[in-house]
Amino acid sequence: MTARMIDGKALSAQVRDDVAVRVQALKKHGVTPGLAVVLVGEDPASQVYVRNKAAACDKAGMLSREIRLAEDTPEEELLDLIEALNQDPAIHGILVQLPLPGHIDAGLVIETISATKDVDGFHISNAGLLMTGRPLFRPCTPYGIMKMLESEQVALRGAEAVIVGASNIVGKPMAMLLLAAGATVTLCNSKTRDLGAQTRRADVLVVATGKPGIVTGDMVKPGAVVIDVGINRLPSGKLTGDVEFDGAAQVASAITPVPGGVGPMTIAMLLVNTLEAAERTLNT
């Protein structure tokens, strides 16, 4: 079997077009969705992410405010900035690009963002709401993956879903969303014994570890849908995922490429979350 390629780039363009239409509708009510993206320091990868997020916002007709702070910015100053953005009616979504410099407590920063503007969905209240089945903001990467599975018409009710990687931003919220969709979920971490025995049961396999090639073709169930979240830069400069693509594509029914799979969907869902935060202000 040679897997069908799930085109995250094309689907994300469609999502962004839909967002742009809804932005125009909202503007007729006098509201322009606004996203503040805060970057502390000079990390080159973070600079690219922040630029891409702001550009996607502008393209969808939203307001984007990029705020760059020096690497040695005191924690207090960042917290004050977030408090000001919480109060700013032109800003509906606040995103602080991670990782933060070591002297800043990332947990405290995230908890300072108003839960109603937490478009990354990382605030403890939003994690709790997601866990109890009443999500306000779904974290963008797992939300984008659910959108992909929906667009591919993957049946999730009763399906075996295995997630490799259990971080707060990808693996755990992914588990909650798949569970809510009726899948039987297995969440693996670095201590999991015999990873292959777990992954070979998966009708839907999501891999998010940051370990290139951790999942090989022989670890994939024939006909499975494989979602590769990993973004790893090889010494050659080439970007690669966590799944050994050529081997897995021989066995899977559908697979996401890296790049061009999950990555573009993450940005598209950030726009959706920001738009929905702005739409909610009309009803309050």
Binding site for ligand NDP (CB under 6 A): 141, 164-167, 169-171, 188-192, 195, 208-211, 214, 229-232, 262-263, 266
Q: Which is nearer to ligand NDP, 109 or 262 (CB)?
A: 262
Q: Which residue has the tokens 């994300």?
A: 12
Q: Which is nearer to ligand NDP, 26 or 50 (CB)?
A: 50
Q: Is 87 a known active-site residue?
A: no
Radius of gyration of the chain (CA): 19
Least Å distance between CB 144 and ligand NDP? 7
Least Å distance between CB 265 and ligand NDP? 7
Phi, psi of 65 (to 5 degrees): -125, 110
Going by C-alpha positions, the residue among 53, 252, 229, 232 that lies closest to residue 148 is 229
Q: Is 147 a known active-site residue?
A: no
DSSP state, 215? B
Least Å distance between CB 191 and ligand NDP? 6
Q: Which is nearer to ligand NDP, 81 or 100 (CB)?
A: 100
Query: What does the alpha-carbon distance between residue 114 and residue 86 come to, in Å, rounded to a whole number?
Result: 6
Q: Is the dihedral of CA 199, 225, 148, 156 positive or negative?
A: negative
Least Å distance between CB 146 and ligand NDP? 14
Least Å distance between CB 90 and ligand NDP? 27
Q: Which is nearer to ligand NDP, 116 or 186 (CB)?
A: 186
A 10 A CB-CB count for 193 gives 7
Among 117, 118, 120, 198, which one carries the catalytic annotation?
A: 120
Long-range contacts of 103-110 (CB under 8 A, 24+ apart): 103/72, 103/75, 104/40, 104/73, 104/75, 104/78, 105/75, 108/75, 108/79, 109/75, 109/78, 109/79, 109/82
A 10 A CB-CB count for 173 gives 26
A 10 A CB-CB count for 41 gives 17
Q: Is the dihedral of CA 86, 89, 93, 94 positive or negative?
A: negative
Q: Which is nearer to ligand NDP, 121 or 230 (CB)?
A: 230
Hey, what are 154's tokens?
């993957």
Q: Is 120 a known active-site residue?
A: yes
Among 9, 14, 87, 97, which one carries the catalytic annotation?
A: 97
Strand order in the sheet with 63-69: 63-69, 34-40, 93-96
Among 7, 18, 27, 53, which one carries the catalytic annotation?
A: 53
Catalytic residues: 53, 97, 120
